[in-house]
Amino acid sequence: MGDSELEQIRAKRMAELQGQYPQGNLDRQQQEQQVKARLYTPSLRPPYCEHGLFAMQDFAYELNLFDREAEAKNSILSQILAQDARTRLNSIALVKPEKASMIENMLINMAKTGQLGGKVSEAQLIKLLEEVNSKTQKRTTVKLGICY
């Protein structure tokens, strides 16, 4: 089997996989790019992937793993967030996926350590968001120099 044939098989399989997994989440796209980079960079590939025969299977496995992690995360969040809070967090995720992911991880960790008394309401989520914004607010400083 020639390199061009393997490349065609890879491209075909990649198209199939991309059709199975919607690409609405920016974090997921970044994860897919990292997996692709690892599988297509010979020095980063496991030794048994020398010819790329198992690369697509590994890629599919990792995508499946990402899906299961996302499902588990969503399940936990649905248990700890009230519906209005979940809606607000989803709206934030559309605009700032990194911030939403950070808040989701914070909420999950708080739930695991028993810091949450019950379901988090929208007001409680807003308060948490304000705290995070005050701590992570980017500050821009402008220095002016005089040039002669």
Tell me what the mean pLDDT of segment 137-148 comes to: 71
How far apart, in whole angstroms, are the C-alpha atoms of residue 40 and residue 51?
A: 10
User: How many CB atoms lie under 10 A from the CB of residue 89?
Assistant: 20
85 C-beta neighbours (distance < 10 Å), count: 21
Task: Give the chain's mean pLDDT.
Answer: 76
pLDDT at 65 over 90: no
Q: How many CB atoms lie within 10 A of CB 96?
A: 13
Question: Residue 132: helix, strand or coil by DSSP?
Answer: helix
pLDDT tens-digit readout, 91-135: 998 998 888 989 999 999 988 888 888 899 999 999 999 988 888
- Domains in the chain: boundaries: 1-66, 81-120
Secondary structure, 3-state, 10-42: HHHHHHHHHHHCCCCCHHHHHHHHHHHHHHHCC
Of residues 24 and 36, more confidently modeled? 36
